Amino acid sequence: MMPLVLPSARRHGISDRDILHAYRNAVDFFAAEDPDEDLMTVVGADESGRLLEVGFRRDRSGRRLVVHAMPARPKYLRHR
């Protein structure tokens, strides 16, 4: 099941199509630094090859909700 893209994920002007492409084609995964936070981040390429960071969490039913998307920052590219 594809995650639901919430309005907050569109704040940086990334389209749903590019967000979901990056999510499906993730090349790296990061858990939240705070163990009490359930935010997870993946890094993946959009349809043009640009690396995006895509942050998501699960709702009570377990569905993934994308809450953040933007061009990947250096801290997420350190392993590349």
Q: In the structure, what pLDDT confidence band is assigned to residue 80 with cuts at 50, 70 and 90?
A: low
Q: In the structure, what pLDDT confidence band is assigned to residue 28 with cuts at 50, 70 and 90?
A: very high
Whole-number Å distance between alpha carbons of 68 and 51: 14
Measured on CA atoms in the order 72, 20, 79, 59, is the torsion positive or negative? positive
| pLDDT above 90 (res 79) | no
What predicted TM-score, i.e. pTM, was given to this entire model? 0.90
